[in-house]
Amino acid sequence: MLKAGENNSKKQTFQLWRNDNHPIELDSNFIIDQKMEYIHNNPVVARIVDEPKNYIYSSARDYEGIKGLLDIEKL
């Protein structure tokens, strides 16, 4: 964090988050599906749940036919 802070243009002492971003154009169904799968699998990779549909805050539940916490429009 100290090294990242030294390289920060705002001259912070410490930096936890990255300032840059890497926008990706969602210009095909393949890319959209790939990014949704990545997002849905984050709780599995973090070992919070065994399957994406088991994470209560995930829209993966809606795609599995389980009502999620929010109303979503499926792609």
Q: Indicate if the pLDDT at residue 26 is higher than 80.
A: yes
Give the integer Cα–Cα distance in Å for 42 and 24: 18
Please indicate, yes or no, if residue 4 is contained in any of the structural domains.
Answer: no
Please indicate, yes or no, if residue 5 is contained in any of the structural domains.
Answer: no
Number of domains making up the chain: 1
Q: Residues 29-56: pLDDT tens digits? A: 999 999 999 999 999 999 999 999 999 9
* pTM of the full structure: 0.67
Please indicate, yes or no, if residue 10 is contained in any of the structural domains.
Answer: no
Its domain, for residue 58, covers 27-75
Please indicate, yes or no, if residue 42 is contained in any of the structural domains.
Answer: yes
Please indicate, yes or no, if residue 70 is contained in any of the structural domains.
Answer: yes
Please indicate, yes or no, if residue 22 is contained in any of the structural domains.
Answer: no
Give the integer Cα–Cα distance in Å for 36 and 53: 13
Please indicate, yes or no, if residue 34 is contained in any of the structural domains.
Answer: yes
What is the enclosing helix (H) or strand (E) of 50? none
